[in-house]
Amino acid sequence: AAKVRGRARLAEFNDELHARAEKRVQIESDLRAALRESQLFVEYQPQVRLKDGRVVGVEALVRWRHPERGIISPADFIPVAEECGLIVKIGRQVLQESCRQLAEWTRLMPGCPLAMTVNVSPRELAEPTFIQDLRQVLASTNVDPTALCLEITESVMMSAPEEVVQVLDQIRQLGVFVAIDDFGTEHSSLSRLRDMPAEVLKIDRSFIDGLSSEPGDTAIVSSILSLAYAMGKHTIAEGVERSEQAAMLLRMGCDVAQGYFFSRPVAAEQIAPMLTRALWHPSSGRALHAAQP
Protein backbone atom coordinates (compact mmCIF):
# COMPACT_ATOMS: atom_id res chain seq x y z
CA ALA A 1 0.00 0.00 0.00
CA ALA A 2 2.88 2.31 0.85
CA LYS A 3 4.34 1.67 -2.56
CA VAL A 4 1.08 2.53 -4.31
CA ARG A 5 0.75 5.68 -2.28
CA GLY A 6 4.34 6.54 -3.12
CA ARG A 7 3.69 6.06 -6.82
CA ALA A 8 0.53 8.16 -6.66
CA ARG A 9 2.43 10.90 -4.95
CA LEU A 10 5.18 10.74 -7.55
CA ALA A 11 2.62 11.02 -10.36
CA GLU A 12 1.11 14.00 -8.63
CA PHE A 13 4.54 15.54 -8.29
CA ASN A 14 5.22 14.98 -11.99
CA ASP A 15 1.90 16.53 -12.93
CA GLU A 16 2.71 19.54 -10.85
CA LEU A 17 6.15 19.95 -12.38
CA HIS A 18 4.60 19.63 -15.80
CA ALA A 19 1.93 22.21 -15.05
CA ARG A 20 4.52 24.59 -13.71
CA ALA A 21 6.73 24.20 -16.77
CA GLU A 22 3.73 24.82 -19.02
CA LYS A 23 2.82 27.93 -17.10
CA ARG A 24 6.38 29.22 -17.47
CA VAL A 25 6.33 28.68 -21.23
CA GLN A 26 2.99 30.50 -21.36
CA ILE A 27 4.27 33.46 -19.36
CA GLU A 28 7.36 33.63 -21.55
CA SER A 29 5.39 33.83 -24.79
CA ASP A 30 2.93 36.31 -23.27
CA LEU A 31 5.89 38.41 -22.11
CA ARG A 32 7.23 38.63 -25.65
CA ALA A 33 3.86 39.96 -26.73
CA ALA A 34 3.84 42.32 -23.74
CA LEU A 35 7.12 43.87 -24.89
CA ARG A 36 5.86 44.23 -28.47
CA GLU A 37 2.54 45.69 -27.40
CA SER A 38 3.79 47.92 -24.58
CA GLN A 39 1.81 46.20 -21.84
CA LEU A 40 4.52 46.90 -19.27
CA PHE A 41 4.36 50.11 -17.27
CA VAL A 42 6.15 51.62 -14.32
CA GLU A 43 4.85 52.73 -10.93
CA TYR A 44 6.85 54.81 -8.48
CA GLN A 45 7.11 54.53 -4.72
CA PRO A 46 8.23 57.64 -2.81
CA GLN A 47 11.33 57.50 -0.62
CA VAL A 48 10.99 59.80 2.35
CA ARG A 49 13.72 61.59 4.27
CA LEU A 50 12.86 60.78 7.87
CA LYS A 51 14.02 63.96 9.52
CA ASP A 52 11.58 66.19 7.64
CA GLY A 53 9.21 63.88 5.77
CA ARG A 54 10.16 65.17 2.32
CA VAL A 55 10.21 62.94 -0.75
CA VAL A 56 13.83 62.76 -1.88
CA GLY A 57 13.52 59.92 -4.33
CA VAL A 58 11.31 57.30 -5.93
CA GLU A 59 11.81 53.61 -6.74
CA ALA A 60 10.64 52.50 -10.18
CA LEU A 61 8.67 49.23 -10.03
CA VAL A 62 7.51 47.51 -13.19
CA ARG A 63 3.99 46.14 -13.67
CA TRP A 64 2.34 44.17 -16.44
CA ARG A 65 -1.14 44.92 -17.72
CA HIS A 66 -2.02 41.50 -19.14
CA PRO A 67 -4.92 41.57 -21.64
CA GLU A 68 -6.72 38.65 -19.95
CA ARG A 69 -5.19 38.28 -16.52
CA GLY A 70 -5.17 41.91 -15.45
CA ILE A 71 -2.27 43.49 -13.56
CA ILE A 72 0.52 41.00 -12.87
CA SER A 73 3.06 41.68 -10.13
CA PRO A 74 6.79 41.62 -10.93
CA ALA A 75 7.25 38.84 -8.38
CA ASP A 76 5.29 36.62 -10.79
CA PHE A 77 7.08 37.46 -14.03
CA ILE A 78 10.55 38.86 -13.27
CA PRO A 79 11.93 35.41 -12.30
CA VAL A 80 10.68 33.96 -15.61
CA ALA A 81 12.08 36.96 -17.51
CA GLU A 82 15.42 36.39 -15.80
CA GLU A 83 15.48 32.73 -16.77
CA CYS A 84 14.64 33.30 -20.43
CA GLY A 85 16.76 36.42 -20.84
CA LEU A 86 13.85 38.77 -21.61
CA ILE A 87 14.82 40.72 -18.48
CA VAL A 88 17.47 42.49 -20.54
CA LYS A 89 14.86 44.08 -22.81
CA ILE A 90 12.47 44.70 -19.94
CA GLY A 91 15.17 46.33 -17.83
CA ARG A 92 16.18 48.53 -20.72
CA GLN A 93 12.57 49.72 -21.17
CA VAL A 94 12.13 50.40 -17.45
CA LEU A 95 15.39 52.35 -17.31
CA GLN A 96 14.50 54.42 -20.36
CA GLU A 97 10.99 55.18 -19.14
CA SER A 98 12.00 56.04 -15.58
CA CYS A 99 14.79 58.35 -16.74
CA ARG A 100 12.39 60.03 -19.16
CA GLN A 101 9.98 60.50 -16.27
CA LEU A 102 12.69 61.84 -13.97
CA ALA A 103 13.70 64.40 -16.61
CA GLU A 104 10.08 65.50 -16.85
CA TRP A 105 9.72 65.94 -13.05
CA THR A 106 13.00 67.82 -12.90
CA ARG A 107 11.84 70.14 -15.66
CA LEU A 108 8.46 70.75 -14.02
CA MET A 109 9.88 71.21 -10.54
CA PRO A 110 13.43 72.48 -10.75
CA GLY A 111 13.44 73.32 -7.03
CA CYS A 112 12.74 69.75 -5.91
CA PRO A 113 15.83 67.61 -6.43
CA LEU A 114 14.71 64.02 -6.84
CA ALA A 115 16.57 60.73 -7.16
CA MET A 116 15.36 57.85 -9.33
CA THR A 117 16.11 54.30 -8.23
CA VAL A 118 15.84 51.40 -10.68
CA ASN A 119 16.16 47.66 -9.96
CA VAL A 120 18.70 45.82 -12.07
CA SER A 121 18.98 42.04 -12.35
CA PRO A 122 22.30 40.18 -12.35
CA ARG A 123 21.51 39.02 -15.87
CA GLU A 124 21.45 42.65 -17.04
CA LEU A 125 24.77 43.48 -15.41
CA ALA A 126 26.30 40.53 -17.23
CA GLU A 127 25.21 41.95 -20.58
CA PRO A 128 28.33 43.21 -22.43
CA THR A 129 26.46 46.31 -23.63
CA PHE A 130 25.10 47.26 -20.22
CA ILE A 131 27.33 50.30 -19.66
CA GLN A 132 26.93 51.47 -23.22
CA ASP A 133 23.13 51.21 -22.91
CA LEU A 134 23.21 53.09 -19.62
CA ARG A 135 25.22 55.91 -21.17
CA GLN A 136 22.83 56.01 -24.08
CA VAL A 137 19.77 56.29 -21.82
CA LEU A 138 21.42 59.05 -19.77
CA ALA A 139 22.37 60.96 -22.90
CA SER A 140 19.01 60.60 -24.63
CA THR A 141 16.99 61.65 -21.57
CA ASN A 142 19.48 64.28 -20.43
CA VAL A 143 19.31 63.01 -16.85
CA ASP A 144 21.99 64.01 -14.34
CA PRO A 145 23.79 60.68 -13.63
CA THR A 146 24.09 61.55 -9.94
CA ALA A 147 20.28 61.60 -9.73
CA LEU A 148 20.14 57.93 -10.76
CA CYS A 149 20.69 54.95 -8.48
CA LEU A 150 20.74 51.30 -9.54
CA GLU A 151 19.61 48.63 -7.06
CA ILE A 152 21.20 45.23 -7.14
CA THR A 153 20.45 42.40 -4.77
CA GLU A 154 22.76 41.33 -2.05
CA SER A 155 23.14 37.86 -3.56
CA VAL A 156 24.81 39.39 -6.62
CA MET A 157 27.21 41.24 -4.41
CA MET A 158 28.13 38.28 -2.37
CA SER A 159 28.62 35.82 -5.19
CA ALA A 160 30.17 38.72 -7.10
CA PRO A 161 32.57 37.49 -9.64
CA GLU A 162 35.22 40.04 -10.54
CA GLU A 163 33.30 41.08 -13.65
CA VAL A 164 30.35 42.30 -11.60
CA VAL A 165 32.61 44.45 -9.45
CA GLN A 166 34.11 45.88 -12.62
CA VAL A 167 30.69 46.77 -14.02
CA LEU A 168 29.74 48.39 -10.71
CA ASP A 169 32.96 50.40 -10.84
CA GLN A 170 32.07 51.59 -14.32
CA ILE A 171 28.58 52.56 -13.15
CA ARG A 172 30.17 54.59 -10.36
CA GLN A 173 32.57 56.23 -12.83
CA LEU A 174 29.56 57.52 -14.75
CA GLY A 175 28.41 59.16 -11.52
CA VAL A 176 25.42 56.81 -11.11
CA PHE A 177 24.92 55.45 -7.57
CA VAL A 178 24.64 51.80 -6.57
CA ALA A 179 22.41 50.46 -3.80
CA ILE A 180 22.28 46.99 -2.29
CA ASP A 181 18.65 45.83 -2.19
CA ASP A 182 17.15 43.49 0.43
CA PHE A 183 20.23 43.92 2.59
CA GLY A 184 20.57 41.45 5.45
CA THR A 185 18.69 38.56 3.85
CA GLU A 186 21.67 36.76 2.34
CA HIS A 187 24.89 35.69 3.95
CA SER A 188 26.99 38.79 3.79
CA SER A 189 30.67 38.86 3.99
CA LEU A 190 31.73 42.08 5.63
CA SER A 191 35.01 42.26 3.75
CA ARG A 192 33.07 41.87 0.50
CA LEU A 193 30.79 44.66 1.53
CA ARG A 194 33.75 46.87 2.34
CA ASP A 195 35.16 46.39 -1.14
CA MET A 196 31.88 46.89 -2.95
CA PRO A 197 31.36 50.07 -4.91
CA ALA A 198 27.91 50.69 -3.42
CA GLU A 199 26.93 53.73 -1.37
CA VAL A 200 23.46 52.75 -0.22
CA LEU A 201 22.19 49.83 1.86
CA LYS A 202 18.48 49.06 1.67
CA ILE A 203 17.41 47.30 4.85
CA ASP A 204 15.11 44.43 3.95
CA ARG A 205 11.43 44.68 4.82
CA SER A 206 11.54 41.47 6.87
CA PHE A 207 13.54 43.23 9.61
CA ILE A 208 11.37 46.33 9.60
CA ASP A 209 8.31 44.15 10.28
CA GLY A 210 9.46 43.24 13.75
CA LEU A 211 11.03 46.57 14.59
CA SER A 212 10.03 47.46 18.16
CA SER A 213 8.16 44.15 18.73
CA GLU A 214 10.94 41.62 18.03
CA PRO A 215 14.12 42.37 19.96
CA GLY A 216 16.09 40.32 17.41
CA ASP A 217 14.90 42.46 14.50
CA THR A 218 15.60 45.67 16.37
CA ALA A 219 19.13 44.47 17.04
CA ILE A 220 19.67 43.56 13.39
CA VAL A 221 18.41 46.92 12.13
CA SER A 222 20.49 48.76 14.66
CA SER A 223 23.66 46.89 13.71
CA ILE A 224 23.05 47.42 9.99
CA LEU A 225 22.67 51.14 10.71
CA SER A 226 25.90 51.36 12.66
CA LEU A 227 27.73 49.29 10.08
CA ALA A 228 26.50 51.60 7.32
CA TYR A 229 27.49 54.65 9.33
CA ALA A 230 30.96 53.28 9.99
CA MET A 231 31.42 52.48 6.31
CA GLY A 232 30.10 55.86 5.20
CA LYS A 233 27.07 54.40 3.42
CA HIS A 234 23.54 55.74 3.27
CA THR A 235 20.59 53.69 4.47
CA ILE A 236 17.05 53.22 3.19
CA ALA A 237 14.55 51.17 5.17
CA GLU A 238 12.05 49.19 3.08
CA GLY A 239 8.50 48.22 3.95
CA VAL A 240 7.64 50.78 6.64
CA GLU A 241 3.95 50.25 7.36
CA ARG A 242 3.42 51.95 10.72
CA SER A 243 4.16 55.26 12.31
CA GLU A 244 6.11 53.69 15.22
CA GLN A 245 8.49 52.08 12.75
CA ALA A 246 9.21 55.40 11.05
CA ALA A 247 9.74 57.14 14.40
CA MET A 248 12.01 54.39 15.64
CA LEU A 249 14.08 54.38 12.43
CA LEU A 250 14.53 58.12 12.74
CA ARG A 251 15.71 57.76 16.34
CA MET A 252 18.07 54.98 15.30
CA GLY A 253 19.70 57.19 12.66
CA CYS A 254 18.23 55.85 9.43
CA ASP A 255 18.25 58.47 6.62
CA VAL A 256 15.43 57.50 4.32
CA ALA A 257 12.48 55.09 4.34
CA GLN A 258 9.82 53.82 1.99
CA GLY A 259 6.70 51.78 2.62
CA TYR A 260 2.93 51.69 2.54
CA PHE A 261 2.86 53.98 5.59
CA PHE A 262 4.01 56.87 3.40
CA SER A 263 2.62 55.68 0.08
CA ARG A 264 2.18 52.60 -2.04
CA PRO A 265 3.81 52.55 -5.47
CA VAL A 266 1.64 54.86 -7.61
CA ALA A 267 1.28 56.14 -11.18
CA ALA A 268 3.63 58.94 -12.20
CA GLU A 269 0.86 61.58 -12.13
CA GLN A 270 0.34 60.95 -8.43
CA ILE A 271 3.97 61.65 -7.57
CA ALA A 272 4.15 65.29 -8.64
CA PRO A 273 1.85 66.64 -5.87
CA MET A 274 3.91 64.75 -3.26
CA LEU A 275 7.07 66.59 -4.19
CA THR A 276 6.08 69.95 -2.83
CA ARG A 277 5.24 69.02 0.76
CA ALA A 278 6.15 66.65 3.58
CA LEU A 279 4.60 63.15 3.56
CA TRP A 280 4.77 62.91 7.33
CA HIS A 281 5.59 65.07 10.30
CA PRO A 282 8.11 63.39 12.59
CA SER A 283 6.94 65.48 15.56
CA SER A 284 3.28 64.43 15.38
CA GLY A 285 3.99 61.06 13.76
CA ARG A 286 1.10 61.63 11.36
CA ALA A 287 1.35 60.59 7.74
CA LEU A 288 -0.52 62.61 5.16
CA HIS A 289 -1.57 59.61 3.14
CA ALA A 290 -1.30 61.63 -0.01
CA ALA A 291 -2.20 59.05 -2.58
CA GLN A 292 -3.49 56.03 -0.78
CA PRO A 293 -5.84 54.03 -2.98
Binding residue for Mg ion (CB under 5 A) from 82, 144, 182, 199? Answer: 182
Letters for 139-178 (x = contact with ligand C2E by CB under 6 A, - = none) are ------------x---------------------------
Binding residue for ligand C2E (CB under 6 A) from 27, 80, 88, 94? Answer: 94
Q: Angle 2-36/74-84 helices, nearest 10 degrees? A: 90
> With CB under 6 A, what is the number of residues at the site for ligand C2E?
25
**DSSP letter string, 36-88:** HTT-EEEEEEEEEETTT--EEEEEEEEEEEETTTEEE-HHHHHHHHHHHSTHH
Q: Which residue is nearest to ligand C2E (CB)?
A: 259
Task: Yes or no: say if 261 and 287 are a contact pair by the CB < 8 Å rule.
Answer: yes
Task: Yes or no: say if 223 and 188 are a contact pair by the CB < 8 Å rule.
Answer: no
Q: Which residues contact 209 (CB under 8 A, 6 or more apart)?
A: 217, 239
Query: Is residue 244 within the footprint of ligand C2E (CB under 6 A)?
Result: no
Query: Is residue 209 within the footprint of Mg ion (CB under 5 A)?
Result: no
Query: Is residue 182 within the footprint of ligand C2E (CB under 6 A)?
Result: yes
Query: Is residue 119 within the footprint of ligand C2E (CB under 6 A)?
Result: yes
- Residue 30 or 124 having the CB closest to ligand C2E: 124
Kindly state the smallest distance separating residue 206's Cβ from Mg ion, in Å: 10
Question: What would the 3-class secondary structure string for 142-160 be?
Answer: CCCHHHEEEEEEHHHHHHC
Residues that bind ligand C2E (CB under 6 A): 45, 61-62, 73-75, 78, 87, 91, 94, 119-121, 151, 181-182, 205, 238-241, 258-260, 265
